[in-house]
């Protein structure tokens, strides 16, 4: 059911982008937006992992440099019967982690130095299992596509606002883009709609990844305990992150930052912890 919901939401997100193109440029704008959406999704498929890793200064580490992490990753990948992802470290005090990549054969998991110092072995295994679950279910590709389209919608809406202020709008009945008022409405409402859709996609995948982590690690308490610590320390040691990529992290780096918390791409940590502690593995 979650997969069907995600496909529908991605379709709505793409449709919204094409609709904005139509409002800004009529049928020609819709066609351009459709072509652009296709190009963006291709780019997200092939390059999103490299872009986000570079964005956060993540550096690859060898097994000799991080033997404990590799030991846990190897153990959990064997349990999940999946390929071993590349391991990256971010020189960042705020405790967090994320996974990226287009499929299980081309994936990476990145950890901040802060999370490696904060968590004990069982807690870190829970985090690793959560990220492996994202990779296993191809959430990393879905989230990259959602982030790419949502970011483009926000950019296009910003341009539409300036276009409206400068007197944009066409009166041609065959190629009507809705006029200045229509452009202003889109400029205000489209980013909000994109954020809500992206939030809905990410939240459903987080719950699924938590459950998958419990199954892979056979220890839901490890992840529950790590989330408790992350909830406390991530707010006290803030991390610079963009709204378009915040959904990638195991806990939102934007949590507690005023209005951003209203549009968090993550479910409430208290709810995630409660669900994990209610799991009874056979």
Task: Report d(CA 279, CA 46) in Å as an integer.
Answer: 36
Task: Report d(CA 95, CA 97) in Å as an integer.
Answer: 7
- Say if CB 115 and CB 90 are below 8 A apart: no
- Say if CB 277 and CB 224 are below 8 A apart: yes
75 catalytic residue (yes or no): no
263: closest CA among 128, 154, 140, 131?
154
223: closest CA among 133, 147, 154, 125?
125
Residue 189 CB partners (closer than 8 Å, separation 6+): none
**What is the chain's length?**
282
Task: Report d(CA 44, CA 143) in Å as an integer.
Answer: 10
- Say if CB 246 and CB 183 are below 8 A apart: no
Indicate which residue of 122, 131, 215, 221 is catalytic: 131
Active site residues: 131
């Amino acid at each position: 059911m979650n997969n069907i919901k995600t496909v529908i939401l991605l379709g709505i997100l793409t449709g919204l982008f094409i609709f904005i193109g139509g409002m800004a440029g009529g049928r020609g704008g819709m066609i351009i937006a459709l072509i652009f959406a296709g190009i963006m999704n291709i780019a997200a498929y092939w390059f999103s992992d490299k872009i986000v890793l570079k964005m956060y200064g993540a550096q690859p580490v060898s097994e000799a440099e991080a033997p404990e992490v590799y030991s846990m990753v190897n153990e959990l990948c064997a349990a999940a019967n999946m390929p071993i992802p590349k391991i990256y470290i971010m020189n960042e005090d705020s405790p967090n982690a994320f996974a990226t990549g287009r499929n299980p054969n081309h994936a990476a998991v990145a950890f901040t130095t802060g999370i490696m110092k904060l968590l004990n072995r069982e807690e870190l295994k829970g985090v690793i299992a959560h990220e492996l679950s994202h990779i296993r279910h191809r959430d990393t590709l879905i989230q990259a596509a959602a982030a790419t389209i949502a970011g483009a919608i926000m950019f296009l809406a910003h341009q539409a606002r300036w276009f409206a202020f400068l007197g944009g709008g066409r009166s041609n009945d065959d190629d009507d883009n809705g006029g200045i008022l229509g452009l202003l409405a889109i400029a205000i409402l489209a980013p909000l709609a994109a954020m809500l859709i992206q939030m809905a996609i990410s939240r459903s995948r987080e719950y699924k990844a938590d459950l998958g982590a419990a199954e892979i690690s056979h220890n839901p308490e490890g992840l529950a305990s790590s989330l408790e610590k992350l909830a406390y320390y991530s707010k006290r040691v803030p991390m610079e992150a963009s709204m378009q990529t915040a959904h990638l992290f195991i806990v939102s780096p934007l949590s507690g930052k005023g209005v951003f918390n209203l549009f968090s791409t993550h479910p409430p940590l208290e709810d995630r912890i409660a669900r994990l502690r209610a799991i009874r593995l056979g």
